[in-house]
Structure 1
């Protein structure tokens, strides 16, 4: 792989995949899948030509991983939504690397619709979802299509675990 930007991107995707698999207890202490055929394993799929299906599959999410200096989050979120549709997954989010920090500190960005659908699936009120997973909001102008909510990779892993477990929470 001669392209250094491609190498950085691939390394970031692998770090995210490995962290999520370890957090979700999908791998043993050596990083080997407990069950290689388990559909809940977090994977980096082979790309399928013009119909990109996302960088990392963490069912029910498609993760579009970005290791770049200058963020373009609204554009990336549109890309993640499209790739989720191509892959047949309900949710697409963006995982953006933060310079000089480990994978846990990476930023996971949700568009408003995906955040609301995830919150509803978890059975959480807005206030509880906001607090439990430490979301922040970015509002850019009056177009809500450019708004997004952000948490870190570690809290996203907790959210993913809760969603997969079908954890019903009290709505306040």
Structure 2
């Protein structure tokens, strides 16, 4: 892989995957899956054809991972939503690397609609959901399509675990 930007992006995707697998207890001390065929394992997606399916699959989330200097969060969020549809997953989110920090402190961005759908799936009031998972809003002008909420990958890992434990409708194939 000669392209340094591609190498950096691949390394970030792998870091996100490895962090989530370890946090959720899906791997042993050597990083091997405890249940290799489980649909709950976090995996980097192989790109197939013209329709991108996101960088990391963490059911029910598609993670679009970004390791760049200049953020374009609203554009990235639109990309994540489209890729979630292509992959057949309900939610698309962005995980942006923070320079000099580990994967746990990566910044997770979601649009207001995705945030609301996640909150409602967990049956939580707005204030509780915001506080429990560390969400902070970014309201950019009057155009609500540019509004989004941000948390850390660590807090998203908690949310992912809670979603998988508490939300009905998680496909049996993913259990």
Normalised TM-score (structure 1): 0.96
**Partner residue of 1:30?**
30
| Residue 5 (structure 1) shift | 0.1
**Partner residue of 1:8?**
8
| Residue 143 (structure 1) shift | 1.1
Distance (Å, rounded) in 2 between the aligned partners of 1:167 and 1:118: 10
**Partner residue of 1:113?**
113
**Partner residue of 1:93?**
93
Distance (Å, rounded) in 2 between the aligned partners of 1:45 and 1:150: 23
Does residue 76 (structure 1) correspond to residue 73 (structure 2)? The answer is no
Normalised TM-score (structure 2): 0.94
Distance (Å, rounded) in 2 between the aligned partners of 1:122 and 1:37: 26
Runs of 4+ in 1 over 2 A off after TM superposition: none
**Partner residue of 1:164?**
164
Listed one character per residue, the Cα deviations across residues 105-145 of structure 1 (whole Å, up to 9, x for unaligned) are 10000100000000000110000001001111101111111
Distance (Å, rounded) in 1 between the aligned partners of 2:84 and 2:167: 23
Q: List runs of 5+ in structure 1 lacking aligned partners.
A: none
Count of paired positions: 168
- Measured on the aligned residues, the alpha-carbon RMSD in Å equals 1.0
Distance (Å, rounded) in 2 between the aligned partners of 1:119 and 1:143: 22
| SS class of match (1:7) | helix
Q: Superposed, which structure 2 residues align to 1:43-82 within 5 Å?
A: 43-82=43-82
Distance (Å, rounded) in 2 between the aligned partners of 1:5 and 1:109: 21
| SS class of match (2:6) | helix
Q: Superposed, which structure 2 residues align to 1:107-146 within 5 Å?
A: 107-146=107-146
Q: List runs of 5+ in structure 2 lacking aligned partners.
A: 169-175
| Residue 167 (structure 1) shift | 6.2
